[in-house]
Amino acid sequence: MRQRASTALFHGAGQPFELSKQEIIAPNIDEVLVQVSLATICGSDLHTFTGRRTAPVPCVLGHEAVGRVAAPTQVRDAYGNPLHEGDRVTWSIMAACGTCEYCNKRNLPQKCEKLFKYGHARSEDPYFLNGGFGEWICLRSGTAIYRIPDAVSDIEAAPLNCALATVLGGLATLDLTDRASAVVQGAGMLGIYAACCLRERGFEIVACVDRVTERLRIVEAFGATHTFNLSETSTVEIEEALYGVTGGRGVDLAVEVSGSEAALVNSLDWLGIGGSCLTLGYVFPHADVTVDAHKVVTKCLTVRGNHNYHPSALGDALRFVEETRERYPFEDLVGAVYPLKEINPAFDRAMQGDLIRVGINPSLEGKPL
């Protein structure tokens, strides 16, 4: 194989991406070469872009991606079925070894001792096709690869590989039997997915809290039954409203996906006795939060964190979108798609914060869609 691949190299916060062309190295027998058709800019890409967290550089960012298998392969998909050249696929955000303590005994392959995460590693030979913001990506051994159902579009599929799988993986760690009320803290991509997931599980009350009116309007289209703008409503007023709609008991579940310090504090106030708080948003270091632990004890609360996701959650995420795509406008969540060579304006656009997701399509020519 003598093709060259364009990638967008990240050199550090505050520096522009550099478009680089390198020769594609034929994949090993346990690797899969994929031609990327769409990658979306995740909140954690923006954390790296702004320096809120660091990445080894140069790095090809991007982990919410879809593409087509670009060469014959003996690698099988996550269900053990053969993969064929041309198959539309998405893949877990990480590769795991399958043999270490976390992979084997603790059922936490997402915390594998030899964990590799796409879009977070140094781009260097032979692994320079490491991230989604490039024409091609090389999927390593230990990656869970899923075929995308024909009915699900690239735009619907790309963000679910990180955001929806993270939500479903987190919810899977909790027993939600007989739970009917929730508050979701943050109406970005994870919060929007959390709202529709909870509604589909029969939650009657799914309140959502954010500071951006437009995001709260969007989450209403994804099943939120109550929305509260923290810029206009005090936490005391929200607490009164939540206790009001739950017969004075407080909510059964709080899902923290905002990363804001106040979210965990508020969750402990708004949860009822026996409630659970799932926290997914503190994905950057030094997220110091002071809470009244007395509430955790006296309300018999469960506070559960989850990072990355179990690879099976990606299969759940694909199924979820395939089954519910008629009910929720998933395609509207990607507000603009840019060609790869316009990755710098694409990130600037994503930083404006009014679009839930901005996509990059490496084969797109001309102006952004």
Considering only residues 86 through 145, tell me which ones interact with Zn ion, judged by CB under 5 A: 96-97, 100, 103, 112
To the nearest whole angstrom, how small is the minimum distance from the Cβ of residue 240 to Zn ion? 35
Spatial distance between the Cα atoms of 200 and 171, rounded to a whole number of angstroms: 13
Residue number, 162 or 358, with CB nearest to Zn ion: 162
For Zn ion, the closer of residues 189 and 251 by Cβ is: 189
Three-state DSSP class for 69?
Answer: strand
Subset of 284-343 contacting Zn ion (CB under 5 A)? none
For 189-224, give one letter per residue: b (16+ CB within 10 A) or e: bbbbbbbbbbbeeebebbbbbbebeebbebbbebbb
Subset of residues 246 to 265 that bind Zn ion, contact rule: CB under 5 A: none
Q: Minimum CB separation from Zn ion for residue 102, in Å? A: 6
What minimum distance in Å lies between the beta carbon of 298 and Zn ion? Answer: 35
Cβ 355 to Zn ion, closest distance in Å? Answer: 16
Binding footprint of Zn ion, residue count (CB under 5 A): 8
Q: Nearer Cβ to Zn ion, position 55 or 70?
A: 55
Minimum Å distance from CB 316 to Zn ion?
17
Longest dimension (CA), the chain: 67
The H or E element spanning position 218 is helix 213-221
Show contacts with Zn ion in window 12-71 (CB under 5 A): 42, 44
Binding mask 203-242 for Zn ion (x = CB under 5 A): ----------------------------------------
Q: Which is nearer to Zn ion, 112 or 182 (CB)?
A: 112
Measured from the CB atom, is 189 or 218 closer to Zn ion? Answer: 189
Q: Can you tell me the distance from the alpha carbon of 139 to that of 145, in angstroms, rounded to the nearest whole number? A: 9
Cβ at position 160, least distance to Zn ion in Å: 11
The per-type count for the chain, helices as H runs and strands as E runs, is 11, 16
Q: 8, 95, 157, 162: which one contacts Zn ion (CB under 5 A)? A: 162
Strands (E), the chain: 4-9, 18-23, 32-40, 64-69, 88-95, 116-117, 136-139, 143-147, 181-185, 205-210, 226-229, 251-256, 271-279, 302-305, 334-339, 357-361
Cα gap 321→157, rounded to integer Å:
8
Contact residues toward Zn ion (CB under 5 A) are 42, 44, 96-97, 100, 103, 112, 162
